[in-house]
Structure 1
């Protein structure tokens, strides 16, 4: 299981505008910064959608943490 404080720090790094939600664009940018340049907009949107339990097309920290804590 992931550490919640580490997850919160990672979430905040990805949430570049600081609004408390990760968009597909922010997620794609974070992956690119990590060296994964091959992620397309549609792939980033699909990854977000797969974890987006309230279907608002963004990830809240709770959704982000729920996914990490399953691993």
Structure 2
């Protein structure tokens, strides 16, 4: 990975973390925005999974794809 990729991913995960911490104050109020964020996370995971199928296995991609899918399934299962 390049330094710019680390910075980009660090900013993305920081944004997700801050959104989750902010939403914990009133989870019922922020239910749908959080599901939207988790959906975007899953779309990114599906893109990683597609890249995995097309290009082969790089390090770390498989676990991130499955984690993102598991987060969304858990969110929809709980239905806020």
Q: TM-score scaled by structure 2?
A: 0.31
**Highest RCO, 1 vs 2 (Cα 8 Å, sep ≥ 6):** 1
Higher helix fraction (1 or 2): 2
* TM-score normalised by the chain length of structure 1: 0.33
